[in-house]
Structure 1
Amino acid sequence: MNKEIVKLIYPQWQGGQNFNYVLGAKVMEAIVPNSEKMDEINVPVSLEKNGDKTSQIDDEAALIKQIQAAQVILEDRNPAKVITIGGDCSTSLASLDYLNGKYHGNLGVLWFDAHPDISSPEQSSHLHEMVISTLMNIGAKNVQNVLKHQFSNKQFLLSGLIEKDLRPMDSNVFKYDINFVTPQVLKEDIAPIIEWINQNNFEAVAVHLDLDVFSPQDFRSIYPAEPGLKIEDFPAAVGEMKIHQVFDILAKIEHEKPLVGMTVAEHLPWDAINLRNNFKKLELFN
């Protein structure tokens, strides 16, 4: 008998062109708790670094194949809830598309991220930077063609977004009128989130948790915390939230509406990555 929750292990790296996301997903798999309500299933991911640039999106063919593999799993299991262990941020595409269909378009998505992930193929070749736009059918066209349940702008609330550090490629936040709440506001009050849920009368809520929403002083396994990198030299926004703040918010949200999905994305456990790379220097491990 199928279980209520499917936990997808989805070590996709092509969306961010960063192979370190593979190990990051494997480590995160060990961190995220299991329960008797879950079926844990691996999404097959190509580990070949072929550098395919036949489209505007890097490695697009591999990415589409992996999205379709995740779709087959979800359609076969038909879970009420989905947990996705990524991998890059584009691992949310299959699960959120599925959940939006499951809840008949009445799904709100809390997008915890320092960045808005709403660029276009004209602004980026990395799928993980255009996940929201692709879910809204205004992003990566060939990827959109395999998705089935288009989102509207009102279904997203960018949470923890660093507004002052938005790049030109992030300007679609305003162009497409995407709601957002900064870390400073969330530190004081989560009322804007509750208001967004109630105004839209969502049946359920899903969460996209890009770990770079966290401050590198509070959580070290993210891009801006790479050893030897000065945070002030990081070329994009740096998260400001603390772990306990995000999970306290989510615990309160669960009292308002069912939490039916979560993607955990872009985990970069630098100590594990560096240790693994050094093991590879030895013939014993090759």
Structure 2
Amino acid sequence: MAPTFVVVPQWQGSISPRAMRLVDGAAAIQGDLPFSATRLVDVPVEAGDALDTGVHRFSAIQVVRERHARVLKDTTDWALSIGGDCGIALAAVEHAARTHPGDLAVVWFDAHPDLHTPESSPSGGFCGMVLRAISGEGPAEFELAAASSVPLQNVVLAGIRDVDDAEDVLLHDRKLMRVSCSELADPTSLVAAIAATGARHVFVHIDLDVLDPAALEGLSDLIPFGLSVADLGGAITALRAEFTVAGATITGFAPASPEAATDDLPSILRIIGALTR
């Protein structure tokens, strides 16, 4: 069944100087989505306050999380949430985990592992903490229940290549599953990694910076040696052949101008097509 599209133009989780471009990116993608199947989450204009949490703009991020969750609750099947920054994955994965308790793996297509806590983060940006929060090990203020979290042993990190020291320690100490960009040219290893979790349902998170900058211009972070659109699409197709997609997010589109957005949209629509056809 085709998903409900949920557009969440959140920018507050990003620490990039181009963060406001994420709002434009979400709007550009929304323009090519089917109107009757698309819902829009109202994002506050104000930046929000940390409220002594160690998370920049925490109050605004929490408001968006609650509003996003309410929209997801009303969806009849699975949802594809379009950001905005990758912090929107928190509510999206929570919803999928509650819908498929104990039977959900997460594939995290991203140049970054996003495994910080407020104590380890060099920036305080929630975008770098969201996967740790999804695992139930993140900021206590998000109050993630065990039934709506996904443990790190059920997460596969795909295409990460910009890792901070504290994250590197966690990756090695926990022996977290990783699939490199070169390995993703053949999705067999990715499928095997998900199968090893024992889950039958998979949540697919895509931060577009997993792509090589040559493949997409509208990226907040330009991290070389990333995926091609074809390899990302092939990996998604292979996952869908073996597992049931329980939800997905596409985040990180930050075009410099409407004209630049138009140039990138065919590639993004190919990725959406791989998830939804």
TM-score by length of structure 1 reads: 0.81
SS at match of 1:260: strand
Q: Per-residue deviation at 1:105?
A: 2.3
- Give the distance between the partners of 2:62 and 2:138, measured in 1 at CA: 14
Out of 106, 111, 114, the residue aligned to residue 109 of structure 1 is 106
Conservation of the 8 A alpha-carbon contact between 1:15 and 1:63? yes
Conservation of the 8 A alpha-carbon contact between 1:213 and 1:238? no
Aligned residue pairs total 255
Match in the other structure for 1:25:
26
Match in the other structure for 1:34:
34
Q: Per-residue deviation at 1:273?
A: 8.9
Conservation of the 8 A alpha-carbon contact between 2:211 and 2:227? yes
Q: Per-residue deviation at 1:49?
A: 3.4
Gap change, CA 1:53 and 1:238, over 3 Å in 2: farther
- Give the distance between the partners of 1:64 and 1:51, measured in 2 at CA: 10
Q: Per-residue deviation at 1:197?
A: 2.6
Gap change, CA 1:78 and 1:238, over 3 Å in 2: same
- Give the distance between the partners of 2:44 and 2:212, measured in 1 at CA: 31
Larger radius of gyration between Structure 1 and Structure 2: 1
SS at match of 2:213: coil
- Give the distance between the partners of 1:161 and 1:50, measured in 2 at CA: 29
- Give the distance between the partners of 2:67 and 2:147, measured in 1 at CA: 14
Out of 231, 236, 243, the residue aligned to residue 245 of structure 1 is 231
- Alignment identity in percent? 22
Q: Per-residue deviation at 1:184?
A: 1.3
Q: Per-residue deviation at 1:84?
A: 0.4
**Pairwise CA RMSD of aligned residues?**
2.4
Match in the other structure for 1:265:
251
Q: Per-residue deviation at 1:252?
A: 1.8
User: Structure 2: 5+ residue runs without aligned partners?
Assistant: 262-277
Q: Per-residue deviation at 1:148?
A: 5.3
Match in the other structure for 2:87:
90
Conservation of the 8 A alpha-carbon contact between 1:103 and 1:203? no
Match in the other structure for 2:175:
177
Q: 1:68-101 CA distances to partner (integer Å, 9 max, x unpaired)?
A: 11112222x1432011010000101101111011
SS at match of 1:270: coil
Letter in 2 for 1:20: R
Gap change, CA 1:108 and 1:145, over 3 Å in 2: closer
Gap change, CA 1:204 and 1:146, over 3 Å in 2: closer
**Aligned ranges 1:156-195 → 2 under 5 Å:** 156-162=155-161, 165-171=162-168, 172-187=170-185, 189-195=186-192
Conservation of the 8 A alpha-carbon contact between 2:106 and 2:150? no
Match in the other structure for 1:63:
61
SS at match of 1:66: helix
Match in the other structure for 1:232:
none
Match in the other structure for 1:73:
71
TM-score by length of structure 2 reads: 0.84
- Give the distance between the partners of 2:260 and 2:2, measured in 1 at CA: 37
Letter in 1 for 2:116: S
Q: 1:226-245 CA distances to partner (integer Å, 9 max, x unpaired)?
A: xxxxxxxxxxx435100111
Asked whether 1:48 is paired with 2:46, we answer yes
